[in-house]
Structure 1
Amino acid sequence: MRYRTYCTDHGPYTQSRLHFAPAGVRPLCGSTNPIVTSPIRLTRCLHCQSSGRPVGGQGGLGELEILAFIATYKTTSLSGGKESNSAPAIKNNSNDNLIIGELNEELAVEEKWKRKPSPYRESDAPAGAGQILVRTKAVSLNYRDKLVIEDKYPLPISYPLVPGSDLAGEVVAVGSGVSRFKTGDQVISHFRPKWLRGVPSHEELRENLGGPLPGVLAEYVLLSEQGALAYPDYLTPAEASTLPVALVTAWVALFTLGNLKPGETVLLQGSGGVSLFALQLAVAHGARVLVTSTSPGKVARLKQLGAAEVIDASVNPAWDEVVLRLTDGRGADHILDVIGGGAVPRSIEAAAWRGHIALIGIMDRPATTISIPNVMVKNLRLQGVSHGSRADMEESLAFAEKHRIPPVIDARYTFDAVPDALDHLDRGPFGKVVVEIN
């Protein structure tokens, strides 16, 4: 899999060099249009860099080159509407954002750009009112990031887009009116930066980092001060970067919505980030945890984290029956279904009377068929979970700090190896995959 980006003078290239600039600033290497309206600008390729084209400014942030990865999308030829060996067009949409296409790993420019240098001015403030500029130290990846990058996310996404939502870094500049943070503070991002507490509005649900909002897979990122939180000081930046989506999703499923009580039985699937955080949270709260896994080699590691029983789904495909045996026919009080698709009917069978099933993932497929009578007879509650508010995040961080819960990182990659890190997600990591940046 190749991830391509675009320079207005020199066409496509694999690794993008970006400049930080406020909305409307024109690219340094030639376009007459402001080409990205997000805080991270696609501006200049490695050829421009090697040719000595000036960056502008006299020092400080004005001379920063910001590395980021831009997600593209597959498209079809403009002639005939069918996929062919011809390259797709690259054009401007109504918002003057570049639309980048990828087909057969080849790109071509059909619209010519005129050179009109417009150097970045250092007087352009790097952080606006209510914003903080964060120097990224680590970004953890989620399965959602792969769906966005591969244009498989079930909700509309506009491309090009900087992917990623889970950041840990250091505040290096603050805008006017910022009161929650100061320069030097260590922070993590909040996936839904506008959802602070209570029932969210449609806008608060829609505005997510990494789609549709610009993501965090870049060396420097602008965040709203409301969309960032301090993290416990017992964690490293890499560990802290794993918290924003996985920890909060597990917390909301078990506590905010599930009202987990000590002594109850929790059933988890696999060993991804959400499942492992849920395992650690539930064990810390005194629950009994069962885990299904298709990897026999992970059994011992799951038990080290506190799993009471691990069900090998590779030899027990009817794992719901095993759950019933292990609970003397009662079933699990809480089930976090991160697989979706064909796993959901089995989760229903494995649930206890008035059990709570949190529907979290669609790794299998986004649709399935269930038996409504089974849900009715057991008085089950099937509930979608897709993260939480900042208040939920604050509660989960306080719990994690109290119990010194250690995030599990399966692998760490450099920024240049982001495609390899994304491929690692396909192999089924034990915990989180982290990209270390600065």
Structure 2
Amino acid sequence: MSIPATQKQWITSSTEKDFDGLVYQTSAPVPKPSPSQVLVRIHGASLNYRDLVILRGSYPFPLDLPVVSLSDGAGEVVAVGSDVTKFKVGDKVLTLFNQGHQKQFVDVAASKTGLGGCIDGTLREYGAFDQTGVVKMPENLDYVEAASLVCAGLTSWNALFGLRPLEKGQWVLVQGTGGVSLFALQFAKAAGATVIATTSTKEKGEVLKKLGADHVINYAEDPNWGETARKLTPGGEGVEHIIEVGGAGTFTQSFNAIKMEGIISVIGFLGGAKPKDNILETLNKVCTVRGVYVGSYGQLQDMCKFVQEHNIHPVIDKQVFTLENAKEAFEYMWAKKHFGKVGIKI
């Protein structure tokens, strides 16, 4: 195919209050792949809460602005460098969040290779990535679905399988209906686990049940939902894995629900980031509290294989945006109008 010299893209130029730092460019240069890179025609992208807080100035990890926005992308390889052996023209691929995160555990150097943060991301028509920075898409997904796996999908995969892998028959608690929690629900059910999900509305609870949740607890009606979750488990011993997204607002309940030697995977802090005096509960409850920062190249490969084998389809919000109106996608997600991942067709 003919590759143009210029492209359309969105860059994060600065951090502002109302996404004013998000700038649309209509004649940016199309990158030329180095010997070890592939050039990808990007067809799908998706948003994460991380992308919103970068623009609003509260992202806790390294940034190097200006940078092409977003980490989540999927597309078709249209050119390959002379040293590329892993891919050929025509292969369908998705991106690795931290391009330098090749081994199981992340380190400082890898944390400075985040797409859309330190390295040009995916909210554009073409991107050049090292051959170790993309993996083949699951064949059962379209481009927008595949793109949604990059951050939220891989984070939940790492949480469930990265430290002490989830086993069939174990219990998992997922909080809310954000992207990571929904992926964790789908992955856990496919792996043979029993899943407890929390939400604040009856309507969302019904959707969670349709996705496979075995038990749904309305935390707006039950402030002691952690103890309620514990009582549901065999012998009242608690759950093996918790996907913790609330932060200070939910930690007490997570400790109430966790089983001895269980793992609380800390993904976010929607309920506040200020810590409370409960860190010693890790000893009292004999559990592991683990911060999760997406995942590695190998984990991305494993997750994609699992998604294809189990024919898992990500939950994509009904409103899918285009590249041209991508800024509306940011505003839509910030207003919490979405359910599932907010997708962008490019």
Contact (CA 8 Å) 2:19, 2:55: kept in 1 or not?
A: no
- Picking from 399, 415, 427, the partner of 2:323 is 415
**What does the per-residue CA deviation read over 1:374-398, in whole Å, with 9 as the maximum and x for residues that have no partner?**
3212211101111111111111111
Contact (CA 8 Å) 1:252, 1:258: kept in 2 or not?
A: no
Stretch deviating more after TM superposition (248-257 or 312-321): 312-321
SS in 2 for 1:397: helix
Unaligned runs of 5+ in 2: 22-28
Contact (CA 8 Å) 1:273, 1:431: kept in 2 or not?
A: yes
User: Measured at CA, do residues 233 and 320 of structure 1 come closer, stay the same or move farther in structure 2, by a change above 3 Å?
Assistant: same
For the aligned residue pairs, the C-alpha RMSD in angstroms reads 2.4
Structure 1 distance, partners of 2:169, 2:125, is 44
Structure 2 distance, partners of 1:321, 1:376, is 18
Contact (CA 8 Å) 1:66, 1:218: kept in 2 or not?
A: yes
Structure 1 stretches of at least 4 aligned residues deviating more than 3 Å after TM superposition: 102-106, 198-201
Q: How does 1:164-203 map to 2 (within 5 A)?
A: 164-203=70-109
Structure with max Cα Rg: 1
Instruction: Look up the match of 2:340.
Output: 431
Contact (CA 8 Å) 1:148, 1:163: kept in 2 or not?
A: no
Structure 2 distance, partners of 1:166, 1:392, is 16
Contact (CA 8 Å) 1:349, 1:374: kept in 2 or not?
A: no
TM-score by structure 2 length?
Answer: 0.90
Aligned-residue identity in percent: 36
Structure 2 distance, partners of 1:326, 1:295, is 20
TM-superposed CA distance for 1:74, in Å, is 4.6
Unaligned runs of 5+ in 1: 1-58, 76-101, 107-119
**What does the per-residue CA deviation read over 1:80-105, in whole Å, with 9 as the maximum and x for residues that have no partner?**
xxxxxxxxxxxxxxxxxxxxxx8996
Q: Does 1:333 align with 2:225?
A: no
TM-superposed CA distance for 1:230, in Å, is 0.6
Amino acid at match of 1:72: S
Instruction: Look up the match of 2:271.
Output: 364
Structure 2 distance, partners of 1:234, 1:104, is 34
Contact (CA 8 Å) 2:19, 2:56: kept in 1 or not?
A: no
Amino acid at match of 2:165: N
Q: How does 1:233-272 map to 2 (within 5 A)?
A: 233-272=139-178
- Picking from 54, 72, 90, the partner of 2:13 is 72
Structure 2 distance, partners of 1:230, 1:147, is 29
Number of residues of Structure 1 aligned to a counterpart in Structure 2: 337
Structure 2 distance, partners of 1:200, 1:161, is 22
TM-superposed CA distance for 1:130, in Å, is 0.7
Structure 2 distance, partners of 1:206, 1:345, is 32
Contact (CA 8 Å) 1:164, 1:216: kept in 2 or not?
A: yes
Contact (CA 8 Å) 1:339, 1:361: kept in 2 or not?
A: yes
TM-superposed CA distance for 1:148, in Å, is 1.1
TM-superposed CA distance for 1:125, in Å, is 7.8
**What does the per-residue CA deviation read over 1:30-49, in whole Å, with 9 as the maximum and x for residues that have no partner?**
xxxxxxxxxxxxxxxxxxxx
Structure 1 distance, partners of 2:280, 2:221, is 29
Amino acid at match of 1:423: E
Stretch deviating more after TM superposition (320-329 or 333-342): 320-329
Amino acid at match of 1:67: K
Higher relative contact order (CA 8 A, sep 6+): 2
